[in-house]
Amino acid sequence: MGETIEYGNLIRHKNAISKLIIYWTRTGNLPLQPVSISKILSEELQRISPRSRTMRLATCFQTVLAQYPDSVVIKDIDVMFNPAYQVDVLKILTEARKNKSYSLIWGCVKSFV
């Protein structure tokens, strides 16, 4: 069983960075098959000049999501964390849910600072 942590409380949540965050939608008793979006999202971003990718990342992500049915389960969003983009990925994910119902499997790596 998982634990739901609201976006605003994520940073304050004890050990949140070391947990596997899963938001999983189920149809009956069978889980939906996760879809890797890293390749298709990378291809969308390659169509844009490197200088404009930061501004267009959210739009590209929503374009990719639009290709799948509602309640799709996605995984492999690592390309969104490119340090050159300097974006708030959690904000992009949250905003996208306003337009499209989706679930995300996301593995967090513990940071040793």
Residues 76 and 37 sit within 8 Å (Cβ to Cβ): yes
- What digits encode the pLDDT tens for the residues 13-60? 454 444 445 554 444 444 567 899 999 999 999 999 999 999 999 999
According to the model, what pLDDT value does residue 11 have?
52
How far apart CA 111 and CA 7 sit, in angstroms, is: 19
Tokens for 84? 């050159």
Reported confidence tier of residue 62, pLDDT bands at 50, 70, 90: very high
Q: Decide if 113 is inside a domain.
A: no
For 98, residues 6+ apart whose C-beta sits below 8 A from its C-beta are none
Tell me how many domains the chain contains.
Answer: 1
> 72-75 and 35-36: which strand pairing?
parallel
Which range of residues forms the domain containing residue 72? 7-107
Q: Decide if 112 is inside a domain.
A: no
Q: Decide if 88 is inside a domain.
A: yes
Percent share of the chain, pLDDT over 70: 65
Q: Is the pTM of this model over 0.85?
A: no
